[in-house]
Amino acid sequence: MKTESTMQINTSNTHKKTMRSTILRQSLQNRIVHWGVAFSTFILIASGIFQMPVSKRYMINELPLMAWSGDYHISLMLHYVGAFGLIFFVAFHLYFHIAKAEFDIFPKKGDGIKSLKIIKAMLFGGVEPKSEKYLPEQRLAYFL
């Protein structure tokens, strides 16, 4: 894992400078892809709702800067833009994970059992088994 050092000034009475290191868990590329997928998904949801006669029925198109929501053709074009964005970011994400051979997020053998052990430890106060960068639950949820 990469670490970045940041200088943070302690505001207590001692006024000493302390060094804190932060762990960079995800690269900038992964964060951009994540937010691109999230943003395009929200665009798809909103434009899909606005393609139905919801906007005029509930007078959403009367709100400031929302007049476009009552026009079917504008919401349809926005829906196409959201779909293109989602397909682009998903294809980009898969291509670079395969090209770089980064398979950390893919489920591994035994993740189901490890997941149950972690959940059992969390519920009953036991010791959680060691895990890698991603928890078994995260790897299983990645493909759901």
110: left (phi over 0), alpha (psi -120 to 50) or beta: left
Tabulate helix, strand, coil % of the chain (nearest 5). 60, 10, 30
Query: What confidence category does residue 7 fall into, taking pLDDT thresholds of 50, 70 and 90?
Result: very low
**Whole-structure pTM value:** 0.65
> Of all residues in the chain, what percent carry a pLDDT higher than 70?
87
What local confidence, expressed as pLDDT, does residue 112 receive?
83
pLDDT tens column, 58-95:
888 899 988 888 888 999 999 999 999 999 999 998 89
Domain ranges (residues) in the chain: 28-102, 106-144
140 contacts 107 by C-beta, under 8 angstroms: yes
